[in-house]
Chains A and B, each alone.
Chain A
């Protein structure tokens, strides 16, 4: 049984899509489009969809920049009132030590991209260590 990306609300059946792409900048557009295509199945506004695309692209870039050896994977899960997107790349950081947090500040951990993502999404979980980089983004319908 796969771990759901976010707590499931009631009897709502989850709809999940997974994507694996090479960890290269030229593939990020595919992740953006996929995420937007999936999210548009909920009634997100255009602004929310654009924000989601931007956040997904930043999450992918963050994983690419942090390095690692694996592909980039993205899992999108639709619930009735939100979408959860997990972007992950496994493997050790490219520059060990370079992004060790001094103050626990996101800027040092993941660069400005993580700030940007936090400003655009409703919930963000970010972790990056020697096992890989993971970001989970949650965007809720109509606030």
Chain B
């Protein structure tokens, strides 16, 4: 984990002065060669950050690549005069780029799936391994068999359930319950609003109270039957945001229909 920016003492002092000097030159000349020097000088920072996101299921090379894009953006936007260290400035930009990469990859959908799959795999492996070994299996047995870390095994067992809660369409298979309800079933106010959709004629008039974005969400959610997560992906916003907009849109519709009736 040796990194140029981590070292203490004279070497670091030299690096900082050197970096400042380069930035001053780059600000004046926008010389691509100096830019390259700056990129190379900070690749360790990118690597340091990328490694920390490596356990999220993307290859480290990809993360370094998108992180480097963030680094280059940071270099181009950095203002030497502001008195902020470049590393302070660049870290959020690089992390932002790495996280955007995960979002683009639909990562928030994949992670729960991966944990669910691991959860199932663990349940299967417990039986077969117990037969093979002739004793109760340990978490490290499972980790070795499934080529996962001990932490992942524990997490898939303990947190797998919690992670599922994110999709409104996730089935909540409670123990001893025949019917597997979805989270949406528990959102009472939404159900109430949904009933209003039966009255299509009223609705057509009412839909004009929505702004274009709310209209799109209502359309995708109830006509195309997409999940909030899918809508979020399509509109490039968070699922939370979709949830809020949907709730607001339904409240508006409800209000509008009530007024019409009365």
Contact = CB atoms under 8 A, between A and B. Distances in A.
A119 B150 CA distance: 28
A32 B151 contact: yes
Contacts of B26: none
B217 to A, nearest CB: 17
Given A32-B151, A116-B49, A107 B5 contact: yes
B99 A105 contact: no
A45 B45 CA distance: 27
Contact of B112 (A32, A46, A54, A112): A46
Interface stretch (A14-22, A36-44, A71-79): A36-44
Interface in B200-220: none
Contacts of A43: 165
A91 interface: no
Main secondary structure of the interface of B (DSSP, over half): helix
B158 A112 contact: no
A18 B163 CA distance: 23
Contacts of A47: 99, 102-103, 107-108
B239 interface: yes
A11 interface: no
Interface of B: 3, 5-6, 8, 45, 48-49, 52-53, 56, 85, 87-88, 91-92, 95, 99, 102-103, 107-108, 111-112, 150-151, 154-155, 158-159, 162-163, 165-166, 238-240
8 cross-chain pairs, A with B, having the tightest CB-CB distances, nearest first: A40-B162, A115-B91, A119-B92, A142-B240, A29-B151, A119-B95, A46-B108, A46-B111
20 contacts: A32-B151, A36-B159, A41-B162, A45-B108, A45-B238, A46-B107, A46-B111, A47-B107, A49-B163, A50-B56, A50-B111, A54-B52, A111-B6, A112-B3, A112-B45, A112-B91, A115-B88, A115-B91, A120-B95, A142-B238
Interface of A: 29, 32-33, 36-37, 40-41, 43, 45-47, 49-50, 54, 58, 98-99, 103, 105-107, 111-112, 115-116, 118-120, 142
